[in-house]
Amino acid sequence: MAAPNKHNEVGLKKQLSTLQLLLYGVGTMLGAGIYVLVGKVAGYAGSLAPLSFLLAGVLAGLTAYSYAQLAPRFPKSGGEIIYIKEATGLKWLSSLVGWGVIFTGFVSAAAIIKGFVGYLDIFIVLPDAAVIIVAVLVLTAIAIWGIGESLNVIGVITLIEVLGLVFVIFVARENLLAFGNRFNDLFVQAPGIDAFAVFQGAFLAFYAFVGFEDLANVAEEAENPKKSMPLAIYGSMAIATFLYILVAVVAVLSLPLDTLAASDAPLALILQQEGAGYAYTISLISLVAVVNGVLAQIIMGSRVLYGMAKEGNAPAVLKKIHPVYRTPITATVFMAIVIAVLAVFVPILELANLTSYIIITVFVFVNLSQVILTFKDYNTAALVLPKFWLPLLGAVLCLVFLLYKTLA
Residue 319 pLDDT grade (very low, low, confident, very high; cuts 50, 70, 90): very high
Residue 3 pLDDT grade (very low, low, confident, very high; cuts 50, 70, 90): very low
Pick the residue with more confidence: 54 or 288?
54
Domain count within the chain: 1
Residue 2 pLDDT grade (very low, low, confident, very high; cuts 50, 70, 90): very low
In a domain, 2, yes or no: no
In a domain, 206, yes or no: yes
- CATH, residue 349: 1.20.1740.10
Kindly report, residue by residue over 78-132, the tens digit of the pLDDT. 889 999 999 999 999 999 999 999 998 898 888 888 878 877 887 888 999 999 9
Helices (H) and strands (E) counted in the chain, each on its own, are: 17, 0
The model's pTM is 0.88
Residue 364 pLDDT grade (very low, low, confident, very high; cuts 50, 70, 90): very high
pLDDT for 143 beyond 60 = yes
H-assigned helices in 194-316: 195-205, 225-254, 257-262, 266-272, 276-310
Q: What is the C-alpha R_g of the chain?
A: 21
Tell me the three state secondary structure of residue 237.
helix
In a domain, 374, yes or no: yes
Query: How many whole angstroms separate alpha carbon 80 and alpha carbon 356?
Result: 16
In a domain, 3, yes or no: no
Kindly report, residue by residue over 197-233, the tens digit of the pLDDT. 898 888 888 888 888 999 999 999 999 999 999 999 9
Cα-based distances in Å from 144 to 5, 11, 292, 327: 20, 14, 15, 6
Which domain does 60 fall in, by range?
Answer: 14-407
Residue 39 pLDDT grade (very low, low, confident, very high; cuts 50, 70, 90): confident
pLDDT for 5 beyond 50 = no
Short-list 192, 208, 212, CA closest to 38: 208
Contact assessment for residue 139 and residue 294, using Cβ atoms and an 8 Å cutoff: yes
Pick the residue with more confidence: 265 or 389?
389
Query: How many whole angstroms separate alpha carbon 268 and alpha carbon 262?
Result: 13
In a domain, 6, yes or no: no
pLDDT for 4 beyond 50 = no
Rounded to an integer, the average pLDDT of 269-294 is 80
User: What's phi and psi for 99, nearest 5 deg?
Assistant: -70, -30
Average pLDDT, the chain: 88
Kindly report, residue by residue over 384-400, the tens digit of the pLDDT. 999 999 999 999 999 98
In a domain, 401, yes or no: yes
DSSP code of residue 348: S
Q: Give the number of residues written for the chain.
A: 408
In a domain, 52, yes or no: yes
In a domain, 238, yes or no: yes
